[in-house]
Amino acid sequence: MIKELYTPMQIELRERARELAETAMRPVAAKYDEAQEYPWEVQKAIKAAGLSGVWIPKEYGGMGGGVLDLCIVVEEFSRACGGMGVGFAVNALGSFPIIVGGTDEQKERWLPGIAAGEKLIAFGLSEAKAGSDAASMQTRAEKDGEHYVLNGEKKWNTGGAVASYNTVFAVTNPDRGARGISAFVVEEGTKGYRVGKHEDKMGIRCVPVVEIHLEQCRVPEANLLGGHEGHGFKHAMITLDRARPGVAAQAVGLAQGALDLAMQYTHERQQFGQSVSSFQGVQWMLSDMATQIEAARQLVHHAARVIDSGHRHITKVSAMCKLMATDVAMKVTTDCVQLFGGYGYCKDYPIEKYMRDAKITQIYEGTNQIQRLVIARNLLREAAGGAN
Ligand code: CAA
């Protein structure tokens, strides 16, 4: 990190996050990966370190940081464990709809608990038949007096089994397409809200990814985000624009963490009477990886700065950084496994976990095919004379 490019708070945040990652996350990463269990001890350590509300405005108990601050922390956590990185970042994904679309009363009600690390929050957009095509969701919310009655099933709900709150998107007006979708904060314990199947995953195994069942689930109308129907899809898209750099930062952290291990291993490993890192072929791989990681990191930080500046057009650069950083993470972690040779393929060494954790970053919060679609739509709009 070139310190002059960052604020004192960002430099301090990075140091604090790195120390926490090295002391509280790395030592237990393999244990929770194997057990596929949520690391409550890590959650408590994040809370104790005062990092739970990095992205939440100060007036609601947070640090008042922006997307760049969030990315700096997520990268450091993911360098030690990609699962713990997303376990943290998903709270930003779940709470951005409240920050961008909630009323003052709703922000006052839900954000301080999240900022304090007392409450976790998930994001319920996807369904079994509505993944990339998020607007085709079937979950319904029907008004009944002072409540909405929600029925449907959400899929791929990251952190849903441990979250106190879930930002759930549902159709309030089936005749209006994307404009008929609304967002609700559903609180744990609400009758008719049930956590279902836990996915058995390739990577990010310490974070539960679950199905959520909504069966005659009565949610007070006060939990309709913003107090108006029909804004949910727009708020989901605005949220994803702000959250995708977090996935990209997770990818950069994974790639950097894998390269750190490969640097050390190739230095120590002796073959043909010399250190493996003394071979030019290996040095070129290390150089390429370091260059790709730095390029990805700078695009992530650029995107985060554009978002934090309040610029109106953030969609394209957000998708670009997610696309690039996650593809870099997949390539770098795969190449690092290669550098470990046969040992890289075995769980005795920590490197294979990086490759498993990296794969999901190309898939969630919009597949990289969807990122390309989003980038292309914006490029063509700009070419036709729209703003960039
Ligand atoms: N910002 C603001 N508004 C936006 C927007 C944006 N970035 N993108 C679209 N909108 C608005 C449009 O302006 C339009 O509004 P109007 O009706 O008022 O004109 C409305 O939303 C519909 O837009 P589109 O017609 O462009 O929508 P679409 O159906 O063609 O879909 C899409 C667009 C980009 C493909 C979108 O569906 C998408 O992003 N899909 C991927 C979904 C995704 O990322 N899912 C991951 C969920 S989270 C997860 O992975 C699990 C987890 O827990 C981590």
Best residue among 166, 234, 306, 367 to mutate for probing ligand 1's pocket (most ligand atoms within 8 Å of CB) is: 234
Spatial separation of the C-alpha atoms in residues 253 and 265, rounded to whole Å: 18
pLDDT at position 2, please?
85
Phi/psi region, residue 289 (left: phi>0; alpha: psi -120 to 50; beta: rest), is alpha
Nearest CA to ligand 1 atom 16: 179
What counts of helices (H) and strands (E) characterise the chain? 12, 9
Active-site residues, by number, are 365
Distance between CA 81 and CA 369 in Å, rounded?
25
Separation between Cα atoms, residue 256 and residue 277, nearest integer Å: 17
Q: What's the 239 CA to ligand 1 centre distance in angstroms? A: 10
Domain locations along the chain: 3-115, 121-230, 233-383
Question: Could you tell me the fold of the domain covering 3-115?
Answer: Butyryl-Coa Dehydrogenase, subunit A; domain 1 (1.10.540)
Spatial contact of 195 and 160, defined as CB atoms under 8 Å apart: yes
CA distance 272 to 287: 22
**Cβ-count burial 308-320 (b if 16+ within 10 Å, e if not):** beeeeebbbbbbb
Taking the centre of ligand 1 as the mean of its atom positions, its distance from the CA of residue 289, in whole angstroms, is 32
Q: What's the first-to-final CA gap in the chain, in angstroms?
A: 29
Give the DSSP letter of residue 172. S
Phi, psi (rounded to 5 degrees) for 217: -85, 110
Instruction: Give the pocket of ligand 1 (CB within 6 Å).
Output: 90, 93, 123, 125-126, 132-135, 156-158, 178-179, 233-234, 237-238, 240-241, 315, 364-366, 370, 374
In ligand 1, which atom is closest to the CA atom of 158? 53
Tokens standing for residue 302: 């650029």
Atom of ligand 1 nearest to the CA of 374: 34
Give, using CA atoms, the residue closest to atom 52 of ligand 1.
Answer: 158
Q: Which residue has the CA at smallest separation from atom 8 of ligand 1?
A: 237
User: Candidates 237, 250, 360, 369: which one to mutate for ligand 1, based on the most atoms within 8 Å of Cβ?
Assistant: 237
Distant-in-sequence, close-in-space partners of 246: CB < 8 Å, separation ≥ 6: 67, 70, 71, 74, 89, 92, 93
Confidence (pLDDT) at 1 = 77
* pLDDT of 386: 66
| Torsion angles phi and psi, residue 181, rounded to 5 | -105, 140
How far does residue 178's CA lie from ligand 1's centre (Å)? 8
Nearest to 293 by CA among 254, 264, 262: 254
Would the pTM of this model clear 0.85, i.e. be above it?
Answer: yes
Instruction: Decide: 275 and 266 in contact? Cβ < 8 Å.
Output: yes
Q: What is the pLDDT along the chain (388 residues), one digit of tens a residue?
A: 788 899 999 999 999 999 999 999 999 999 999 999 999 999 999 999 999 999 999 999 999 999 999 999 999 999 999 999 999 999 999 999 999 999 999 999 999 999 999 999 999 999 999 999 999 999 999 999 999 999 999 999 999 999 999 999 999 999 999 999 999 999 999 999 999 999 999 999 999 999 999 999 999 999 999 999 999 999 999 999 999 999 999 999 999 999 999 999 999 999 999 999 999 999 999 999 999 999 999 999 999 999 999 999 999 999 999 999 999 999 999 999 999 999 999 999 999 999 999 999 999 999 999 999 999 999 999 999 866 5
Distance 321 CA to ligand 1 centre (A): 17
Query: From atom 44 of ligand 1, which residue's Cα is the shortest distance away?
Result: 366
Assess if CATH 3.40.50.80 describes domain 233-383: no
Among protein residues, the one whose CA lies closest to atom 34 of ligand 1: 374
For domain 121-230, which architecture applies?
Beta Barrel (2.40)
